[in-house]
Structure 1
Amino acid sequence: MKVKKYEAASMPEAMKMIRAELGNEAVILNSKIVHKNGFLGFFRKKNIEVIAAIDTDIQKTKKQEPLTKHNIHQKQKNQELLKNHNVQQGSLGFVEQAPMNSPKPSADILNQISELKSIITSMQKDTLHVQEHYPLPIQELSSFLVEEELNASIRNELISSLLVKWYENKEELNGDDLKQYLREILIDKLKHLSFGAITYQKKYISVAGPTGVGKTTTLAKIAAESILKDGKKVAFITTDTYRIAAIDQLKTYAKILNVPIEVSYNIDDFKKAKEKFREYDLVLIDTAGRNFRNQQYVDDLKQIIDFNEELETYLVLGLTSKYSDMITIYKQFSLLNIIKVIFTKADETSHYGQMINFMLMNNIGAAYITTGQNVPDDIHTATPELVVETLFGEDLND
């Protein structure tokens, strides 16, 4: 067996290199994102590293063949196939029989139906390997979605839509066309969710979440944007009395931004702080991290903060967290009426599928994505377009 490592700017580019050298029988063993160091750590370039293998006996004896056995020669036949057999776009997909009074399909069309059925059936088995019988451009995108750890059900819906697009327009599409179509599908799937930064409709904004996800730094970034960009009069309240370092950190930010800060140990302190800041445009509230698995933590928060109609709460989630932990965190804090999530540590991971998984499967949008410790930089207002571009490897700090 011949094994070789390839490095390219994107998965499609790597797949072209592999196919050119090893042929269509090559197998992808592993793939990962790698970073090339720029000048003094800046201008880092993100590449993809792929390890591929080929059985040398197969390479010698087999001729390269198209990944699909039956070529579709005419666009009209593709359209007739899709019209008469009702391939459902955006679902896991199935092929219905033609109506009794419809024209008898040709052998070529029946072959195409059989091929499409085979592809969709294999998709429903939820294999984590790239399916050899996908058309090559879809095979590449399927590999990309698996690598980004996109949920299997979401991934299968996307591949189903790509297959329909391919068979409708096979003679006119290439890999870049399908990649752009995939972007459009993902953006459209996210658009029904609520996105965007704080709107100042509510005077009090609190951030909640487990320890270590960057709540205090994120709050300082929001404060800086509100002061510098929107000219708002801002104040801080912290209820994180469990760690002296946390109070000192927020006090440092308050001093830099020239805003007042109050520490609340109980609900009476919180009400006094609210009264003190009654003339301010925006009051940002920091909370303690602690162990998110402890329900008592959420109960304690409700004893300190008056979660009423004047307040919006955002859940802060680190993108370095496991998806299962994200779900546990969300369930634990759902009693606080979370408005949106804030995704942090986007600079510390190379896989972003869990961000899309979380939003689509929990029907909740995002306010911000943060990419580092710099205040007021390294925070970006979340949009469906930004989320998808992040998935496709765009550097948010460019």
Structure 2
Amino acid sequence: MKIKRFVAADMRQAMREVREEQGPEAVILSTRRMEDGIEVIAAIDYDEALMREASRHGAPAETPPADRSEPTLHVASEPVARAPRASAAPVAAAAEPPGMRPLMERAAQDTAQLRSELGSMREMLEMQLSSLAWNDMERRQPLRARVLREMTRLGIEADVARALVDELPDQINAEQARYLPLGMLSRHLAVSGRGLHGDDRGITALVGPTGVGKTTTIAKLAARAVMRHGADQVALVSTDHYRIGAAAQLEHYGRLLGVRVYPAYDAESLRKVLEMLRSRHTVLIDTAGVAGSDPRLTQQLEILADASELRACLVLAANAQSQSLDDAVRAYLPLKPHACILTKLDEAPSLGGALSVLIRHRLPLDYTTDGQRVPEDIATADARVLVCRAAQSARSHAPDESLMAERFGLAVASA
């Protein structure tokens, strides 16, 4: 029997190191939380009878000496957890006996240690269950597992990947498993088709967090509209009075395009401006960049909600983290955005997170942008082009087994 001690920052990393060095047959003898992380004692060629015999005679066999400063949780045969120490001294009704407070503090410490060890044990067991479930799926449904692996390589979030794979037919061949991921993503990525045939008429307000490129995107859309319909048929409206220089930037673009910019400070002034511009072909509204946690978001949503016939378009930056994109979508859901514009494709190392958010919330895509040039760096959204671009920017190597087990193992086990 070969025993080795592993120390890692957390239980997941420790279990990953055990699997990589000792393989799936390794047995966890004990776990312990330390100041610098988690200690795991693991063994291969484990002989339970030998360990029991050694324990009966007081010999530690090959197990390294344990630090007696903290209780150790053993999981090789049966989970054993030490109960918190309790005082046997009687408790008086009127006053605490001498020494009762140190005993209570020690009991609280032991309880906290026990909870920590049970939490580590639960995490370890979940990881082992995930690994077993994923390995079983690879054995029983290798092609479906292959599709999930390819979705992960593309950066698609686990919940979206599972939902797409659930729609696969029961029987697929190797050729289908190779090409289905890209096809499924293209089919589930909704595009509005706006701008394909000059159908950009109406009032459009671009909303979204700060720094996503709303003002530059409005300039690109305005330039396209000017080339198609003339400057006298295009108008710009600014409601961004929080950011220093925001209105000046929009006015600069307006002067270059020969388009007038109108300010709107509240719901009433916005209503009057839009009424005055009713005859214009294209009206674009630039709004302040407001995060979901900003109290000004409610005020901005109320201003836009009062404007009838307004088409809200949510602007998201493709280089943002997936969770940030999802938070932004949820923050602006009360406005019921009609569509989305995905910016900064040229700055995104991976497009999988952005595609996952669009598919999860079923947001149609109007346009994509991939640079600062006006009006060149904007294109009408094309699902197949975007998915192919995501495939080109995806990681070159397939994800490892531990990542696949972590993402899909528990879901497979509970299915």
TM-score (norm 1): 0.58
> Any idea what the Cα deviations from partners look like across 1:29-55, whole Å, max 9, x if unmatched?
xxxxxxxxxxxxxxxxxxxxxxxxx99
User: What is residue 253 of structure 2 aligned with on the other side?
Assistant: 253
> Any idea what the Cα deviations from partners look like across 1:162-216, whole Å, max 9, x if unmatched?
79565xx45xx4xxx64433322222233xx452225757521100011100000
> Any idea what the Cα deviations from partners look like across 1:217-268, whole Å, max 9, x if unmatched?
1111111112224557211000001123211111111111110001112234
User: What is residue 359 of structure 1 aligned with on the other side?
Assistant: 358
* 8 Å CA contact retained: 1:220, 1:376: yes
Does 1:146 find its partner at 2:152? yes
User: What is residue 383 of structure 2 aligned with on the other side?
Assistant: 384
Select the structure of larger CA radius of gyration: 2
Give the alignment's Cα RMSD to 1 decimal: 3.7
* 8 Å CA contact retained: 2:208, 2:291: no
Matching residue's letter, 2:224: E
Give me the whole-angstrom Cα distance separating, in 1, the residues matched to 2:305 and 2:156.
Answer: 37
Higher RCO (C-alpha under 8 Å, 6+ residues apart): 2
* 8 Å CA contact retained: 1:351, 1:391: yes
- Residues 258 and 184 (structure 1 numbering): CA distance in 2 closer, same or farther, change over 3 Å? same
Does 1:155 find its partner at 2:161? yes
* 8 Å CA contact retained: 1:148, 1:391: yes
* 8 Å CA contact retained: 2:210, 2:288: yes
User: What is residue 302 of structure 1 aligned with on the other side?
Assistant: 302
Give me the whole-angstrom Cα distance separating, in 1, the residues matched to 2:330 and 2:373.
Answer: 30
Give me the whole-angstrom Cα distance separating, in 2, the residues matched to 1:161 and 1:123.
Answer: 24
Give me the whole-angstrom Cα distance separating, in 2, the residues matched to 1:291 and 1:306.
Answer: 18
User: What is residue 239 of structure 2 aligned with on the other side?
Assistant: 239
Moved more, 341-350 or 196-205: 196-205
User: What is residue 263 of structure 1 aligned with on the other side?
Assistant: 263
User: What is residue 197 of structure 1 aligned with on the other side?
Assistant: 194
* 8 Å CA contact retained: 1:138, 1:163: no
Matching residue's letter, 2:156: L
Does 1:321 find its partner at 2:327? no
- Where structure 2 has 5 or more consecutive residues not aligned to the other structure, the ranges are 1-19, 22-128, 395-415
What secondary structure does 2:354 align onto?
helix
- Residues 356 and 306 (structure 1 numbering): CA distance in 2 closer, same or farther, change over 3 Å? closer
> Any idea what the Cα deviations from partners look like across 1:135-182, whole Å, max 9, x if unmatched?
99887764442233212233245557779565xx45xx4xxx644333
* 8 Å CA contact retained: 2:200, 2:282: no
Matching residue's letter, 2:368: I
Say how many residue pairs are matched.
Answer: 269
What secondary structure does 1:297 align onto?
helix
Q: CA deviation at 1:294?
A: 1.8
* 8 Å CA contact retained: 1:202, 1:311: no
* 8 Å CA contact retained: 2:291, 2:328: no
- Residues 197 and 307 (structure 1 numbering): CA distance in 2 closer, same or farther, change over 3 Å? farther
- Residues 285 and 136 (structure 1 numbering): CA distance in 2 closer, same or farther, change over 3 Å? same
Identity percentage of aligned residues: 27
User: What is residue 29 of structure 1 aligned with on the other side?
Assistant: none
Give me the whole-angstrom Cα distance separating, in 2, the residues matched to 1:388 and 1:180.
Answer: 12
- Where structure 1 has 5 or more consecutive residues not aligned to the other structure, the ranges are 1-53, 56-120
What secondary structure does 1:338 align onto?
coil
Give me the whole-angstrom Cα distance separating, in 2, the residues matched to 1:244 and 1:382.
Answer: 31
Give me the whole-angstrom Cα distance separating, in 1, the residues matched to 2:228 and 2:306.
Answer: 27
- Residues 222 and 139 (structure 1 numbering): CA distance in 2 closer, same or farther, change over 3 Å? same
User: What is residue 74 of structure 1 aligned with on the other side?
Assistant: none
Give me the whole-angstrom Cα distance separating, in 2, the residues matched to 1:154 and 1:201.
Answer: 31
User: What is residue 273 of structure 2 aligned with on the other side?
Assistant: 273
> Any idea what the Cα deviations from partners look like across 1:267-307, whole Å, max 9, x if unmatched?
3432342244333211100001133312432324423x464
Q: CA deviation at 1:344?
A: 1.1
User: What is residue 217 of structure 1 aligned with on the other side?
Assistant: 216
- Residues 271 and 162 (structure 1 numbering): CA distance in 2 closer, same or farther, change over 3 Å? closer
| 1:1-398 pair list within 5 angstroms | 125=133, 142-156=148-162, 158=164, 166=172, 169-170=173-174, 173=175, 178-190=177-189, 193-197=190-194, 200=199, 203-229=202-228, 231=230, 233-303=233-303, 305=304, 307-393=306-392
